[in-house]
Structure 1
Amino acid sequence: MTLLQIRKLDRSFQTGKSVMKALERIDLSVNKGEFITVIGPSGCGKSTLLKIIAGLDTRHEGAVMLDNQKVSGPSIDKGFIFQEPRLFPWLTVEKNIAANLPLKEKETKEKVSELIKLVRLEGFENAYPKELSGGMAQRVSIARALLRNPKVLLLDEPFGALDAFTRSHMQEVLLDIWEKNRTTMIFVTHDIDEAIYLASRVVIMNPRPGTIREVIPIELPHPRRKTDSAFQKIRQRVLSEFEKVEENEQSEAFQ
């Protein structure tokens, strides 16, 4: 079942007296329950694409439809995770997840407790953000985004600032959440291994203007091993596409 449809999407920005085209003729369909990763060189419009899907950027041409409804602004059916956690420092983990919903209500209290267990934060319900590690703080952000059961969870390089060990652990936490809830996820990253490890499909983008170069299905069962030959074969295919992108950039630079 198709959940998200993007058709002929263009986005341009005014820079002084000139116009810079960030995205050009983006066409993409995402099925319900899919885990999509988006990769590409810096400046290819990955984050811009995510913000348009979230309804945070509506100054574009083309159609963006979520569950057959036009995306015209932010709404609770779209969860968004930034690179940094953006927690309220004066609230505990439990209250950060609940956000503006009253914890006194039994239904909210039970849902928050379920999410704390899902993101593996049992025992930290009353901790404040300053008492959490980076990975723990990001888990609070994910739980908060899931509280209202969004149709799609959008993640903009959420593990980019984490060390390698914590990043690997967070990948496992996120996969565990996805496998249990089957929430549709679109995940932007610069890390090729991370993109392949998590995704049902990897979307590779060209830069300036951002276009979709290739969509590669990842037909590997979970759990995946990055050292397996099947994983490495897909990795080589993705790297090959990146090399073509770099060749095109260099060619255009000398024209």
Structure 2
Amino acid sequence: MSMALLTIESLDKTFHSQVRDTHVLDDIHLYIQKGEFVTIIGPSGCGKSTLLKIIAGLDTDYAGVVSLSGEAIEKPSKDKGFIFQEHRLFPWLTVEQNIAAELSLKDPEVRKHVDDFIQLVKLQGFEKSYPKQLSGGMSQRVAIARALLRKPKVLLLDEPFGALDAFTRSHMQEALLEIWQNHQTTMVFVTHDIDEALFLSNRVIVMEAKPGRIKANITIDLPYPRKRSGRSFQELRAKLVGLLEHETPDEEEWQI
């Protein structure tokens, strides 16, 4: 476990207010290796997004250990890219300017990297377009390119496709999977969608709520590309549904 890129040990998180204290995360232990695609699923209120914000360094009021490459996470940094459900692009900047952000496109090296990432997310021809001229899926591609340009050690994605229609969402899942396979950036992905988790991940973390705990840590040993209609996919899906609803995990049952 000491070789893990991301280490979370004995993590507890409580929100305090004048009315009451809410215990959000309870004794979370999680170890993520470099290059993994790990998806966190669970019911609303189980602390998925809170966990992601702690990993990102956006929330530091907790008990326990959270470290990246052996160093405690104390604040946001370029080592941790974050993709929200909303793309959060600057509306007054073009696609290429949004990807570059604080970096100058006049710098030949920056220009080359921006052009490379535009190609990576397949937005050639839209370099001069503004966010209002883009679809939701295209805007998220810009956000992903902007994050990857900073060469993060881990890319954190908080339901990034939740606001998209079903067709665009499926297309973006395939695009993200291709980016991960080609770029090998470690991904930590939060979703409510079981099919999305099974399609993308090589590991799924199932959480339960009140307070948020890890119920199961499941390796998804299905070859890529995955067929959603395939028997093994559907068997895993049925077991995940049962696990989310009421069942206690049985390690032997997950050998698919």
| TM class by smaller structure | over 0.9
CA–CA distance in 1 between the matches of 2:225 and 2:120?
18
Which of 171, 174, 189 does residue 172 from structure 1 map onto? 174
Choose from 209, 212, 234 the match for 1:210.
212
Q: Distance in 1 between matches of 2:143 and 2:5?
A: 23
Aligned to 2:244: 242
For structure 1, list consecutive stretches of 5 or more residues without a partner in the other structure: 247-255
**Paired residue type of 1:144:** R
Distance apart, 1:17 and its partner CA: 3.1
Q: Equivalent residues in 2 for 1:30-179 (5 A)?
A: 30-179=32-181
- Looking at structure 1, the residues matched to 14 and 247 of structure 2 have their Cα atoms a distance apart, in angstroms, of 21
What percentage of residue pairs aligned between the two structures are identical? 60
Which sits farther off after the overlay, 235-244 or 151-160?
A: 235-244
1:243 deviation in Å?
Answer: 1.6
Name the CA distance, whole Å, in 2 between partners of 1:168 and 1:15: 40
Aligned to 2:204, what secondary structure does the other structure show?
Answer: strand
- The residue type equivalent to 2:159 in the other structure is E
Q: CA deviation at 1:162?
A: 0.1
Task: Give CA-to-partner distance per residue, 1:153-185, whole Å, 9 cap, x none.
Answer: 000000000000000000011001100110000
User: Secondary structure in 2 aligned to 1:209?
Assistant: coil
Q: 1:206, 1:245 within 8 Å by CA — same for their partners in 2?
A: no
SS of 2:5's equivalent? strand
- Equivalent residue letter for 1:49: L
TM-score scaled to structure 1, two decimals?
0.95
1:108 aligns to what SS in structure 2? helix
The answer to whether the aligner puts 1:10 opposite 2:12 as a matched pair is yes
CA distance in 1, matches of 2:92, 2:111: 19
Q: Which of residues 218, 221, 238 is equivalent to 1:219?
A: 221
Aligned counterparts of 1:166 and 1:15: Cα–Cα separation in 2: 40
Distance in 2 (CA, whole Å) between partners of 1:178 and 1:213 is: 26
Q: How many residues were matched structurally?
A: 246
* Root-mean-square deviation over aligned CA pairs: 1.1
2:189 aligned to which of 187, 200, 218:
187
Deviation at 1:245, TM superposition (A): 6.8
Amino acid at match of 2:37: F
Displacement, 1:18? Answer: 1.6
Specify the SS of the correspondent of 1:47.
helix
Q: Which amino acid aligns with 1:40?
A: G
SS at match of 2:246: helix
- In structure 1, C-alpha distance between the alignment counterparts of 2:144 and 2:247, rounded to whole Å: 32
Q: Indicate the SS of the match to 1:2.
A: coil
* TM-score after normalising by structure 2: 0.95
1:245, 1:140 → 2: CA distance? 40
Q: Which deviates more, 227-236 or 30-39?
A: 227-236
Instruction: Provide the secondary structure at the position in 2 that maps to 1:236.
Output: helix
Please give the secondary structure, in 2, of the residue aligned with 1:120.
coil
Q: C-alpha displacement at 1:84, in angstroms?
A: 0.3
1:114 Cα deviation (Å)?
0.5
- How far apart are residue 16 of structure 1 and its match? 2.5
Report the equivalent of 1:249: none
In structure 1, C-alpha distance between the alignment counterparts of 2:109 and 2:179, rounded to whole Å: 20
Superimposed CA distance per residue, residues 46-104 of structure 1 (whole angstroms, 9 cap, x where no aligned partner): 00000000000000000001000100010010000000000000000000000000000
- Structure 2 unmatched runs, 5+: 249-256
Following superposition, the deviation at residue 24 of structure 1 comes to 0.5
Counterpart CA distance in 1 for 2:124 and 2:150 is 20
Residues in 2 aligned to 1:219 and 1:56: alpha-carbon distance in whole angstroms:
32
Letter in 2 for 1:220: L
Residue 45 of structure 2 aligns to which amino acid in structure 1? G
What amino acid is the match of 2:40? V
